[in-house]
Amino acid sequence: MLTISDHQFTSRLFTGTGKFSDQDMMLAAIKQSQSQLVTLAMKRIDLHTNHDNLLAPLQSLGVKLLPNTAGARNAKEAIFAAHLAYEMLGTKWIKLEIHPDHKYLMPDPIETLLAAKQLCDEGFVVMPYVHADPVLCRRLEDVGCAAVMPLGSPIGSNQGLATETFLKIIIEQAQVPVIIDAGIGSPSQACHAMEMGADAVLVNTAIASSAQPEKMAQCFAQAVITGRQAYEAGLGPVNRQALATSPLTGFLGQSV
Amino acid sequence: MDANHPSQSIQVVFNGAAETLKGTVTISELLILKQLPINAIAIVVNDEVLPRSRWNHVICHQYDRINVFSAVAGG
């Protein structure tokens, strides 16, 4: 059981709601993923289009909502977005993401730390999206973040765990849950992240951009369960040399 | 806040577009006027989030910038 702040999750696969071909497909995929925490963004209403009710069907799935601050370019805008989310959804849970760079969407560490401190002081349950920086993750933990969400590779890139070495350090040091966010492109990568000891993974693009999102969501669900079980079972040590799994008594040579 | 004169028209910027309002119009009344849902939205007046508890009391004023936000799909 994974606990973040005062909330318990039986599923360690968190999902995003973006990039699906339509809302029905998104809902079907989330259902198959068994995710219990899903991310949302916020936008000014377009008065010239229909207002799809995104929330009611998500709430009917029984998932907890995690609004994000996507679009914020600095701490001030992210804090504003968190207040907006609280007013809109009545939740103090916030995925803090500040990325002024549109090409690679790299999170700004300085602005993220500033915003995290203020939002934690205001009682928000802050889950910051950050680069896989072990020092920054400790600083974010120190100011009261409920979890840290280091990236595996750039958002939406499906490049996998390019930051693996640093993710391992973060997992080793963290006293709060570590959720590997961004870049996980396949179930095997999600499984690997869980085998490394990540507390959860957040997957969006890899499911949404699959030819069969529902099936892929199931695959991720299975992979995350398997990876977690493998971590709990304890992986065997890695050796540089061969270590025989069968007795080397040389009996074949003796029979000649 | 002071009410506008009933016969007076005011200009506001609503979701980025100019809007003329006649008389005293509260934020709640503006939402009805624009046929917007009232659940799961947030209102920002002049760059400040306006708590839902004040929508019935706050009146639109000349040149107010009023924006309505809702949740959308995202990662």
- Is residue A197 annotated as involved in ligand binding? no
Instruction: Kindly list the residues from chain A whose CB atom is less than 8 angstroms away from the CB atom of residue B73.
Output: 16-20, 23, 26, 40-41, 54
A180 pLDDT above the threshold of 80? yes
Residue A244 pLDDT level (bands cut at 50, 70, 90):
confident
Tokens 């690679």 identify what position?
Answer: A104
- The mean per-residue pLDDT over the stretch B47-67 comes to 95
Q: What's residue A50's pLDDT?
A: 63
Q: Which CATH superfamily is domain B9-70 in?
A: Beta-grasp domain (3.10.20.30)
- Break chain A into its structural domains and give their ranges: 2-235
Which chain A residue shows the shortest CA-CA distance from B37?
A51
For chain A, give the mean pLDDT.
94
pLDDT tens readout for residues A52-109: 678 889 989 999 999 999 999 999 999 999 999 999 999 999 999 999 888 899 999 9
Q: What distances in angstroms separate CA A82 from CA A91, B30, B41, B56, one per listed residue?
A: 9, 24, 13, 23
Rounded Cα distance between A224 and A237, Å, is 21
* CA A34 centroid distance within chain: 14
The DSSP H or E segment spanning A2 is strand A2-4
Which residue in A87, A91, A124, A184 has the most chain B C-beta atoms within 10 A of its own C-beta, making it the best mutation to test that interface?
A87
In this structure, are residues A10 and A194 in contact, taking their beta carbons and an 8 Å threshold? no
Q: What's residue B37's pLDDT?
A: 83
Q: What percent of chain A stands above pLDDT 70?
A: 96
Active-site annotation holds for A19: no
Q: What's residue A184's pLDDT?
A: 97
DSSP-derived 3-state class of residue A254: helix
Which chain A residue shows the shortest CA-CA distance from B47?
A80
Rounded Cα distance between A33 and A21, Å, is 17
Rounded Cα distance between A217 and A43, Å, is 26
* Separation in Å, CA of B59 to nearest CA in chain A: 19
Instruction: Kindly list the residues from chain A whose CB atom is less than 8 angstroms away from the CB atom of residue B41.
Output: 45, 88
- Is residue A74 annotated as involved in ligand binding? no
B7 pLDDT above the threshold of 70? no
Please choose, from the candidates A157, A153, A162, the residue with its C-alpha nearest in 3D space to the C-alpha of residue A181.
A153
Nearest residue, CB atoms, A87 vs list B15, B51, B75: B51
Q: What is the pTM of this model?
A: 0.90
- Which member of A43, A64, A76, A95 is catalytic? A95
Which chain B residue shows the shortest CA-CA distance from A67?
B71
Binning chain A into helix, strand and coil, the percentages to the nearest 5 are 40, 20, 40
Q: What's residue A196's pLDDT?
A: 97
A186 pLDDT above the threshold of 90? yes
**CATH tag for A2-235 (out of 3.10.20.740, 3.20.20.70, 3.40.50.450, 3.10.20.30):** 3.20.20.70
- Break chain B into its structural domains and give their ranges: 9-70
Rounded Cα distance between A171 and A211, Å, is 32
For this complex, say whether ipTM is above 0.95.
no
Which residue in A20, A51, A76, A124 has the most chain B C-beta atoms within 10 A of its own C-beta, making it the best mutation to test that interface?
A51
- Is residue A183 annotated as involved in ligand binding? yes
Q: What's residue B2's pLDDT?
A: 52
DSSP-derived 3-state class of residue A73: coil
